[in-house]
Amino acid sequence: MRGTGKAEIFVMLAHPVAHAKSPGIFNEIFEQKGLDSLMVPLSCRPEDFEAFWAGITAAENIRGVIISVPYKVAVYHKCSAAHDRAARVESANSVRRLPDGSWYADNFDGVGFIDALKANGHQIAGRRILQVGAGGAGASLAYCLAEAGADEIRLTDIDTARAGKLAALVGRAFPKCRIQVGEAEPSGMHMAINATPVGMHAGDPLPLDVSRLTPDMTVVDIIMEPAETALLRAAKGIGCRVQPGRPMMDFQVRAMSEFFDIEGKDRGHG
């Protein structure tokens, strides 16, 4: 049975947290695998974050935390060590407890995205890619696309300065990838990616100029709800291959499960 006094405790932090999908996904995994573990959705107001995090750290049997909006950057700065994927974007979406009680940060936003693309047969190495959105998730994606061998990235954001800053950082880290700020239109690209929230709500404009899409292009949206955004619908109509947001989440969950060692394989009792 799940949830005894001996249960391994994980927290999913967001504000608000009610819409978060990962608690339900992980608790379902724990149930299916017969693990005595809990993924606990918790929320705190931004002005209470410092007290909240000190309390989470004091709770000695919390083994890991998944972090979502708006706390990825704040939690990253609470960690004593980090994977380069988290350090380069100064953002953590997963942290696990170190033996001294402090936290180790990682970030699987880009990892899940790349793994999902590859699993569905979408090549990244050597490709030219339009990425719309240079915010938190966008930063992780751009680094991982460059790391995966993208030949060229055209980066765009309503905040042009933010796009320029990210392009410079990614270009410095991965000089073989030509990355520059451009317009939200896919001419000459193999792939177009929406890494913004534009499309979550009915009546949202399209995040990029779909009139320039051609049937040989692949169109990717990181939005999970709706499963088929207006962008993906338009791209399908044109004959493009499309990929929705959900597989990115599924592959992130897989990466997080390994990161947290939920089955205890690395601790000798799995």
Q: Name the site residues for a second copy (rule: CB under 8 A).
A: 1-7, 9, 12, 14, 17-24, 26-28, 38-45, 48-49, 51-62
Which has the closest alpha carbon to 110: 126, 89, 132?
Answer: 89
Which residue type is seen at 99?
P
Beta bridge partners of 41: 12
Pair type for strands 62-67 and 94-97: antiparallel
Overall residue count recorded for the chain in this entry: 270
| CA 169/CA 149 separation, integer angstroms | 16
Separation of alpha carbons 157 and 148, rounded Å:
22
Comparison of 169 and 200: residue with beta carbon closer to a second copy: 200
Rg (the chain; Cα; Å): 19
Q: Between 38 and 158, name the residue whose CB sits nearer to a second copy.
A: 38
Told to judge if 6 belongs to the known catalytic residues of this protein, a careful annotator would answer: no
State which H helix or E strand residue 12 sits in: strand 8-13
160 alpha-carbon distance from chain centroid: 22
Q: Which is nearer to a second copy, 15 or 241 (CB)?
A: 15
Cβ atoms 106, 86 nearer than 8 A:
yes
**How far is 119 from 122, CA to CA, in rounded Å?**
7
CB atoms within 10 A of CB 31: 11
Residue by residue, DSSP assigns 138-182 as: HHHHHHHHHHTT-SEEEEE-SSHHHHHHHHHHHHHH-TTSEEEE-
Taking the least distance from each CB to a second copy, the nearer of 5 and 203 is 5
Q: How far is CA 174 from CA 44, 150, 151, 178, in A?
A: 37, 10, 10, 9
Q: Which is nearer to a second copy, 58 or 125 (CB)?
A: 58
Q: Which is nearer to a second copy, 26 or 259 (CB)?
A: 26
Q: Which of 6, 21, 33, 72 is catalytic?
A: 72
Give the residue numbers annotated as catalytic, written as ranges: 72
